[in-house]
Structure 1
Amino acid sequence: MPAIQTTSAQQFRLRAGAALMALAGLAFVGYAAAFLALNFSGAFLELGIGPEEVDKGRAEVQAFSPRLYHYISHLHIALSGFIAATGLAIAAMSWFGVPRGERWAFAATVTVTAASLAISVPAHYPWGLATLGHLGPVYLAVLIFLAGAATTYSGMRGPSGESS
């Protein structure tokens, strides 16, 4: 399906919204980098997670079970890779496809973002891991993404609100 035909006002909204969406994707990449760095620091635990949430640190886990420590470390590394890859996909589709009015890029970007959050965020709440320091940066990136998606969507609509 071809890209939509747009007016200059619609094109401005497409570009502005896409830039916000791409910025949010890059924010996810930054979060992943912090996540990865903390794995190799003395902190070991994730961003915003401390002794109030988890009563054992790096040394205690290593003393209890070096294999468990390596398993947790490998999960941190793998998860940071998936977070970074998701952020890069969001940023790339937002930057290269969305400003041209490519509906597939917009739909894919929104779907990838929604799916990743719907799967990853809820598990934080039952175990008291939804601290502001841990999920706050994610929520900020999501707010930026939503502002961009709303702006982009308005640019994909015609002057009277119909889909272009």
Structure 2
Amino acid sequence: MSTERATVDGHGTDTDHELGRGVRTGSLLMALAGVAFVAYGVVFLVRTFLGSGFELGVATLNGVTRSELDAIDPAIVHYIDHLHVATAAFIIATGIAITALAWYGVQSGLLWAWATAVVAAVVGLALALPMHYMDLFTHDWVSHLGPVYLATIVFVVGAGLAYRGIRSEPRPADTGESTGT
């Protein structure tokens, strides 16, 4: 993708160059956030099998450790593990989708790729985060939600930069280029 658009005299403008840089920087930040979501999901998955707690930032459920709960009812611990693996899988899958959409689609200036990445992130976060404020067990808020909030901030900044750049680029109909259809 060219970062400069030709003007009537054949030269690109500094503004056009900055807008192209916004798409590149924004898509890179969105992809980086997607990679962070994947990493968070991997940590979630690893803690399911190798961790002493339940998930990142949750050491006990109302003072009951994982091993104590396992001694009381191993089926409950197995069920919690089952849910954690499924949750980790969807976090990882969403992160992969966001990364690919940002890196290949958004960076190419495709508004549909930007919108799909944003919808995927918003749906995942909008459904998952509110429950954390109603939990009846203790969290270490920084380690439990901190990484997700940090990745979300990076994603939002990137999405804003990319959107501004995508919306300012000429469409094929505007430049006389063929759309291939």
1:133 is matched with 143
2:18 is matched with 9
User: Cα RMSD between the aligned structures?
Assistant: 1.9
Contact 1:27 1:87 in 2 (8 A): yes
Contact 1:42 1:58 in 2 (8 A): no
Q: Any unmatched runs of 5+ in structure 2?
A: 6-15, 175-181
Shift of 1:157: 3.0
Rounded Cα–Cα distance in structure 2 between residues aligned with 1:62 and 1:116: 30
Rounded Cα–Cα distance in structure 1 between residues aligned with 2:140 and 2:110: 35
Give a deviation string over 1:1-29, Cα, whole Å, max 9, x none: xxxx9643322111110000000000000
Structure with greater contact order relative to length (CA < 8 Å, sep ≥ 6): 1
Output the amino acid matched with 2:107: P
Which of residues 148, 154, 164 in structure 2 aligns to 1:144?
154
The number of aligned residues is 155
Is residue 81 of structure 1 aligned with residue 82 of structure 2?
no
- 1:105-124 superposed matches below 5 A: 105-124=113-132
Rounded Cα–Cα distance in structure 2 between residues aligned with 1:12 and 1:97: 15
Rounded Cα–Cα distance in structure 2 between residues aligned with 1:59 and 1:130: 19
**TM-score, reference length from structure 1:** 0.87
Is residue 94 of structure 1 aligned with residue 106 of structure 2?
no
Output the amino acid matched with 2:33: A
Q: Any unmatched runs of 5+ in structure 1?
A: none
Rounded Cα–Cα distance in structure 2 between residues aligned with 1:143 and 1:44: 27
Shift of 1:129: 4.0
Output the amino acid matched with 1:22: A
- Determine what percentage of the aligned residue pairs are the same residue: 42
Higher mean C-alpha deviation, range 128-137 or range 87-96: 128-137
Higher mean C-alpha deviation, range 53-62 or range 67-76: 53-62
Distance 1:42 1:12, change over 3 A: closer
Rounded Cα–Cα distance in structure 1 between residues aligned with 2:45 and 2:168: 43
Shift of 1:130: 7.1
Rounded Cα–Cα distance in structure 2 between residues aligned with 1:149 and 1:42: 34
